[in-house]
Structure formats: structure tokens, C-alpha cells
Chains A and B, each alone.
Chain A
Amino acid sequence: MATTTVTTPAGATSVELTDDGFFVDPSIWTEEMVPELAAREGIDPVTDGHWQVIRFMRKEYLEKGTGPSVRALGKTSGVNVKELYQLFPKGPAKIAARIAGIPKPKGCV
């Protein structure tokens, strides 16, 4: 567990992260945090494509309690798997989940 500070135009927020970098409390996330969280993952600037995926992840999490796997994301988000990897080369589900402030997708057991 680690604590980090995310700075947005609205001010600084202290955020607790799991060991692998996911929000412990998804409810403190705001869209204003996205540019800084994305930059930490090496994504700058945040394009419309990124936003589409991040918002979709967030919505899925709020509806279903877990973020989708990459393949499910490719079938439902309107962005196919190849494009997802172009947007998030280091792993779309994981990186987009970190930026969207949601827990690690539970796809793999």
C-alpha cells in the first residue's frame, strides 16, 4: 500500500494505491485526475480514444463491480483489441483501470 498525491486544477488530493498501483477507494477519483494519472503511465496527451476507453471502464465498474478484460473491452467499448493496445501499449485493461481509478480487473483466475 502506498499513498500518492494527485494534483488537479481543483487542488491536491491524497490517494491511497495498492501495491500494483490501483485505487484503494475508487470513489475519490475524478475526471480531472486523468491527465496526471495518464502521464504517470506514459500517456500524454490523453486523446478522445483514451477518454472513450477510460469512461467505458469506469461505467462498467460502477455497473458490474469489476472492470472488463481486454477482450471483453474489445467487444463492447467500440475500440477493437488492436487499437486498445495502440492506445495503451503496456496492457489496456490494467493501465486504463489504473487511470480510471478502479480496482485491478478480475479477469484472470
Chain B
Amino acid sequence: MTHRIVILGGGTGGTLTANRLRKVYDRADAEITVVDQDDRHVYQPGLLFVPFGLTHNEDIIRSRSRQLHDGITSRQCPIDHVDLAANEVHLTDTSVLPYDVLVVATGTRLAPEETDGLLEAWNHTAFTFYTPEGAAALEQAITAFDGGRIVINVVDMPIKCPVAPLEFCFMADWHFQERGIRDRVQLTFVTPLDGAFTKPVAAAQLGGMLEEKGVELVTEFNTGEIDTERKVLVSFDGREEPYDLAVVIPVHMGAEYVGRSEGLGDAMDFVPTDRRTLQSKAAPNVFAIGDATDVPTSKAGSVTHFEGEVLVENIEHFLAGEPLVEGYDGHANCFIETGFHKALLIDFNYETEPLPGHFPAKAGLPLLKDSRLNHLGKLMFQWFYWHALLPGRDIPGIGVTMPTSGKEFSRPA
């Protein structure tokens, strides 16, 4: 019998899942279809560098379908909804894709409409670097900026790559120093969290780095409104942060069709998913990967990569009628660009917060400490992304589960 596997989304998760499945199943055993609304695969970590002119959109965007191996069907069409009871995906061109296994890999969408005034301010006084168009518009704004107050604001959690707004602060500090006008630029990081980051040890370290670099930190600020006339952010509890240029990371939600699919998503259109098996809670033959899920770890490419191996194994188990493995431990691994050709590396999972030490073992890259080696690692990663991660190859020495050997577990408070 030929299994029909439909994968919604041709980004990091959808692509690597399709390619891994294609290696596992002969064509006679499985038909694999990937659906996406467009053919632009964005290397999202690259977006951070666009506003500073260090890379360009054309260097970080490739064809989605060309990342898929032979024998995978690619459909380019928006999704209307999933009918869980009928095991069917309905596309907006009225075609219907029946499935035996469905993989939801449609990531997140930005929801600036969730914040009053943000759409009016968009690309006039408030910018984002979370889309290629936004990052390009922000590059122009930064180039033209010659002094004043830049506010970097995270509206709400969760967001993709939760360290990216901090990296933006570090990069901006470096950029304005290079231009010789750092003394005329005030940088302020405004977050709804009670510290610079979500995990205590890393929050303290990153908070310290903000201070060193002269970036003001405003915490527990829940942005309710952006007043583009007065150029102020207004919090729900009435506090105000004035700005000359606002860099805003808007509310993130799951894909819109998830909201139109009875029983598939939660209030924010994310898919409730078992955090260890990656089976959705919506139906046993529906799985989810990457940013589209509600699992409590970072929304990041490394997470998606580590999840991919477990996901594919569990799809095989499911189709064979075998029990699933509880194989995913929440492992995440992020390079944090700190400017001046340096970067920091953090590595953590559901149970262990980012700790100092070395990765993946004692002789490896320094953790929670900036170094040139980490910066090179971050640059090299773009090659790995297109040539190893998306094709579904395992990266030697870096496994699904979080390594513990190089980490300093006990540390004086």
C-alpha cells in the first residue's frame, strides 16, 4: 500500500521532513507532497544582517521547490483548511489532498494587527527585520538615521528566535560605532519579560552585555499601542516609551488556515503537540514540527532540525502500527551575534537552561561567552543550512539530545 503523506509548509521543517522521509520510503511505498503558498525559502537567520547592509535579501532567499529531493511533489497554493474528520487538506484553488499522515510545518505569521496603531506606523516610524521586505525597509531607515532614540520592542512572547532582538541591539551598537555616531544614538531594549531573556543564567549574562554596550533595558513592558503621530509606545498599564525609530517584533501567531481548521489549533493558531513525540493532540495521524507547534522550547531552526529526526522516526512507527518514541528533549542551540565579529553560543533543552561551558564537549565552542570562533560558526551555519540541514543529513557530532559533557552544571549563585 502506498502511504499518502502531506506536508503543509515548505520552510525549514517541511523541507527537511520531506527529504528525510524520501530517504526512508521508496516511491512505491509513499507519496510525499509539500504544499506552500509561495516559492521563496528564506534563510531566516540572515534577516538580522540585512538592516546593517551585511547581507542582502537576494543572498538569503532561494526556491522552495529546488530544496526538495526528486520524487517529492511540490504544490504552490494557499491552504484553505484541514478537514481532520475526513483526512483531507483543502486548498484555496478548491483542490483536495487526501492524506494518511499530515505534517503541519507552516511556522508562524506576524500579526501586527494585534497591536493598535502598528499597521499605521509600519515602515514609516516602526520597522521590523522579521520579514525580507521589513528588513530591507529598515536598512534604509538605519542608513538615514543620524541620531536619536532607537527602541527595540518585543510586543509579546513567543517569538521566532527569541535572541534575535538582543542580537539586533548588539549589532546596532557596533554599526553606529563604526559610523562614529554612537554617542548620538540611544539604544533601548523594551521587553515584556522580567529580564533580557527567558532563562535565568542566560538572562543575567545577556543583561550584563546590554549594560556593557550601553543599551538601556526596560522590562515588563506590554505594548498596547504604537502612536506613530507622537512616536511613543504605550503599554497596557499606561507607561510610555518615546522613540525616533522603533524596531518592533510584532505578535506571532500560527498560520491563518490553522484557525479555519476545526480542532487543529489553539487560541493563537499554534498546534497543540506532544512535546516528546511531536504527534499533534488534534488527531493521531497529524504531526507538527518547528514554529507551528506549541511545544515549550524556542521557535528556532535548530529546534526544528533536532525535531526532524524524531518526527520522521515517529511517522515510520505510526505507519507501521508501532508505539511512538518519546525522543525529543527540547534541545535548542543558538549562536548569538554580539557585533565586532564575535558571537555567543547557547545550548539548552526542556530541563536544562543555557549554562556556561563548552559545546558539544569540553574541547568545543565556548558557551555563554563571546568569541570569534562562535561568529565563524554562525557564518558557516548558512552553508550547513542549505547543504546539510535541509537535505536531511545529520550534522556529525551534534545529535538530537542535548550534550551535557561540556556544561558547568553547578555554579555559585
Contact = CB atoms under 8 A, between A and B. Distances in A.
Given A69-B156, A75-B267, A75-B268, A81 B298 contact: no
Contacts of A42: none
Contacts of B297: 109
A109 B162 contact: yes
Given A85-B222, A90-B237, A71 B251 contact: yes
B253 to A, nearest CB: 9
A62 to B, nearest CB: 16
A12 interface: no
Contacts of A72: 266-268
Contacts of A84: 236
A104 B298 CA distance: 18
Contacts of A75: 267-268
- Chain A interface residue bracket vs B: 10 to 19
B302 to A, nearest CB: 14
Interface residues of B, number: 21
Contacts of A67: none
A69 B266 CA distance: 12
A104 B222 CA distance: 17
A1 interface: no
Contacts of A70: 156, 222
B244 interface: no
B198 interface: yes
A76 B265 CA distance: 13
Given A109-B198, A109-B297, A71 B236 contact: no
A36 to B, nearest CB: 24
Nearest to A106: B296
15 contacts: A71-B114, A72-B267, A75-B267, A75-B268, A76-B267, A81-B236, A84-B236, A85-B224, A85-B236, A85-B237, A106-B296, A107-B158, A108-B157, A109-B157, A109-B297
A48 B365 CA distance: 55
Contacts of B220: 91
Nearest to A107: B157
B60 interface: no
A82 interface: yes
Nearest to A84: B236
Contacts of B162: 109
A108 B237 contact: no
A108 B251 contact: no
Contacts of B266: 72
A68 B158 CA distance: 12
A76 B157 CA distance: 17
A78 interface: no
Interface in A37-74: 64, 68-72
A64 B275 CA distance: 13
A70 B220 CA distance: 13
B193 interface: yes
Interface string B125-160: 000000000000000000000000000000011100
B193 A68 contact: no
Nearest to A66: B296
A84 B222 CA distance: 12
B158 A108 contact: yes
B198 A108 contact: yes
A53 B17 CA distance: 40
Nearest to B266: A72
A109 B296 contact: yes
Interface string B215-238: 000001010100000000000110
Nearest to B198: A108
Given A75-B267, A85-B222, A108-B198, A69 B236 contact: no
B165 to A, nearest CB: 13
Contacts of A76: 267
